[in-house]
Amino acid sequence: MAKASTARRWIVRILVLGAIVVGVWWVRRDLLHRDPVEVSVHAVSRGSVASTVTNSKAGTVRARRRAKLSPEIGGRVAEIFYREGDRVESGAVLFRLDNSRTTAELAVSRNALSVVIAGETERRVAMERAERALNRKRGLAEERIVTQDLLDELESTYALSKAAYGAASAEVERARATVALIETDLERTNIRAPFSGIVAEVDVEVGEWVTPSPSMIQAPVAVDLIDPDSLYISAPMDEVDSASIRPGLAAIITVDSHSGVNFAGKVARVAPYVLDIEQQNRTVEIEVSFDSVEAVKGLLPGTSADVEVVLETHTDVIRLPTRAIFEGESALVIDGDFLEKRELEIGLRNWDWIEILGGLEPGDLVVDSLDRSGIAEGAPAIARESEL
């Protein structure tokens, strides 16, 4: 009985040990023979990396020269010479108010001016005649040929004619001033472009009555004129970055309406104060100008935009795409057929690139498709080259 019991115990032990061996073999086969994951890799190379700061909220494309025009006087719109999208030169008449009454008043005042000019001429001739007569009689008076009474009479006549000429000249000046005033009123019926630009909006139509606004109140806009060569970006930057931003720093501009296109620019102005609007992050407003006017043809003021201000640049350094960073400051590298985790020493960084000071060498294949399932340290992998 004892021998049989011992034999059964050994049989049980052998079966358990066999089951463990089979289990281990099965697990090892499952782990070691799982299908490798396909990963996108980037070959580490050398290049430039810049340290940048980015706006905390969306910036805006603006125009330094933008005029929202309204007439200075009330009147009915008679003619519109330009429409939305038209390019105009400085001084061009954009639209005109009805000026028939003012034109008639100008004609009357010019006729009146002609009349008073004729009267002035007549008074001047009379004055000159009186002056000549007086001068002749003065010579005769010295020889006692004419009496002093006659000389006094001639002097009075000259004085009166001179005064009449002065009054006539004053009347001419008053008439000219009246003409100039009416000419000014007539010109005010022409709404002109204060600078060359593009008509962004026309908010009046022929036949409509427009009224000037009361003092200190913004008038309704009749025409919106924009100079497309004066575009810039207004962007709010976080207050913590305000000390490091200064005019003249290079900037990279992206505009929502031009996806994938980067525009070069420079910081033109940094606001001298921080906005502390309640319930919002405190920001400092900066203005970034475009390096090339031609490059931004077609951009529309009001479009959302972002800027990256370049604070510092390192050239010819080992760099890695920012998207390839794995779990903090590490990267997954293809080592044979498996993924190996490398701890990194990092320098400058921006949205696109990170400077690598240690942990990688040029030519290392780093995984940059970290969003795929199955990617982990030690996992088998098949590499395909990244599109970047």
Do 80 and 112 belong together in one domain? no
Domain-located, residue 59? yes
- Domain final position from 161, 188, 215: 188
* Coil/strand/helix, residue 326: strand
- Domain final position from 198, 226, 254: 226
Do 79 and 221 belong together in one domain? yes
CATH code where residue 331 lies = 2.40.420.20
Do 113 and 73 belong together in one domain? no
Closest by Cα among 213, 167, 229, 165 to 68:
213
Do 204 and 89 belong together in one domain? yes
Please report the pLDDT score of residue 387 as a whole number. Answer: 53
Please report the pLDDT score of residue 181 as a whole number. Answer: 94
Tell me how far CA of residue 69 lies from CA of 66, 130, 188, 295, 335, in angstroms.
9, 57, 12, 28, 68
Please report the pLDDT score of residue 145 as a whole number. Answer: 64
Do 128 and 270 belong together in one domain? no
Domain-located, residue 136? yes
Do 290 and 361 belong together in one domain? no
Q: What pLDDT, in 10s, does the model give residues 257-285?
A: 888 888 999 999 999 888 876 556 788 99
CATH code where residue 79 lies = 2.40.50.100
Domain-located, residue 219? yes
Domain-located, residue 320? yes
Please report the pLDDT score of residue 318 as a whole number. Answer: 92
Domain-located, residue 26? no
- Domain final position from 288, 313, 338: 313
Which token pair is 126?
């009379």
- CA 356 – CA 6 distance, rounded (Å): 66
Please report the pLDDT score of residue 112 as a whole number. Answer: 92
CATH code where residue 268 lies = 2.40.30.170
Q: By residue range, what is the domain housing residue 327?
A: 37-50+315-385
Do 307 and 332 belong together in one domain? no
Here the contacts of 270-276 (C-beta below 8 Å, separation 24 or greater) are 270/242, 270/245, 270/246, 274/239, 274/242, 275/236
What is the domain count for the chain?
Answer: 4
Domain-located, residue 273? yes
| Residue 245 · residue 286 · CB < 8 Å | yes
Do 234 and 344 belong together in one domain? no
Do 291 and 169 belong together in one domain? no
Domain-located, residue 16? no
| Residue 67 · residue 194 · CB < 8 Å | yes
Q: What pLDDT, in 10s, does the model give residues 93-147?
A: 999 999 999 999 999 999 999 999 998 898 888 888 877 877 766 666 565 666 6
Do 144 and 41 belong together in one domain? no
Residues of the chain whose pLDDT is less than 70?
1-13, 15-16, 18-19, 21-35, 136-149, 151-152, 213-219, 277-280, 385-388
Do 294 and 319 belong together in one domain? no
Please report the pLDDT score of residue 338 as a whole number. Answer: 83
Residue 99: phi and psi, rounded to 5, are -125, 20
Do 202 and 320 belong together in one domain? no
Which residues face 62 on adjacent strands?
A: 232
Number of Cβ within a 10 Å radius of residue 184: 10
Q: Is the pTM of this model over 0.75?
A: no
Provide DSSP, 9-30. Answer: HHHHHHHHHHHHHHHHHHHHHH
Domain-located, residue 287? yes
